[in-house]
A and B are shown apart, each in its own frame.
Chain A
Amino acid sequence: GAVVSQHPSWVICKSGTSVKIECRSLDFQATTMFWYRQFPKQSLMLMATSNEGSKATYEQGVEKDKFLINHASLTLSTLTVTSAHPEDSSFYICSARVATEAFFGQGTRLTVV
């Protein structure tokens, strides 16, 4: 199957700092990528849809100025959590679809202290 690589797999940062997460499609081009967040024992919640060469589409309740998404190429989307706070601590995961199947990055566990 298709490979989606996400980096870093975990990060600990201080409150108020920004964290960038990268999501790469390694063996295919992805015009669209998706960013999810998952809190412990909860479902994957779609945060935003990242579109190559255009603005991301954010889900209701997701602050676009806090979660900056850049999809500058067909193989790379980045999510930057700006001015992170402890409540932003979560598991962030990206995905891209090939036909109807979703392929996921390994996920990034963010801990804000």
Chain B
Amino acid sequence: RKEVEQDPGPFNVPEGATVAFNCTYSNSASQSFFWYRQDCRKEPKLLMSVYSSGNEDGRFTAQLNRASQYISLLIRDSKLSDSATYLCVANTGGFKTIFGAGTRLFVKA
């Protein structure tokens, strides 16, 4: 079983739609969690951190459920520029950063 698993995607949505990505992690000792965004052929960039209390940044909302070992990302009012691959990330003990396989999002006009 992979340490971090994500919805496979791709998600094809129209502009303005709301889309949700899910992610689960297997290592209960994981300490911190993030969503990264990766554009084609580019390096990943931090989108936002994920907390149990929830984290909202404009149109983006991230949530962590430690009991279920589940992480989510909600994107409201999708824009064409949101098209990218979204990577769920867990920092485990031992200073490792583990990435999910990524979920590809295509926002259409």
Binds B, one of A12-20, A63-71, A73-81, A102-110: A102-110
Count A-B contacts at CB 8 Å: 50
The SS class assigned to the A binding surface is strand
Asked whether A95 lies within 8 Å of B41 as measured between CB atoms, the reply is no
A44 engages B44 (CB within 8 Å) = yes
B65 at interface by CB-CB < 8 Å: no
Bound-state Cα–Cα, A101 to B89, Å: 10
Q: Interface on chain B toward A: helix, strand, loop, or mixed SS?
A: strand
Q: Does B1 contact A (CB under 8 A)?
A: no
Q: Which residues of B contact A100 (CB under 8 A)?
A: 31-32, 34, 49, 91
The stretch of B13-21, B53-61, B72-80, B95-103 that contacts the partner chain: B95-103
Determine whether the beta carbon of B42 is less than 8 Å from that of A97.
no
B13 to nearest A CB, angstroms?
19
Whether A104 contacts B44 by the Cβ 8 Å rule is: yes
CB–CB A46/B95 < 8 A: no
Determine how close the nearest CB of chain A comes to the CB of B67; give it in whole angstroms: 21
Closest B residue, CB atoms, query A51 = B95
**15 other contacts beyond A43-B102, A46-B96, A107-B42, with CB at 8 A cut-off?**
A1-B46, A36-B99, A43-B99, A43-B100, A43-B101, A44-B87, A91-B41, A95-B97, A100-B32, A100-B34, A101-B34, A102-B44, A104-B43, A105-B43, A107-B43
Q: Which B residues fall within an 8 A CB radius of A?
A: 31-32, 34, 36, 41-46, 49, 87, 89, 91, 95-102
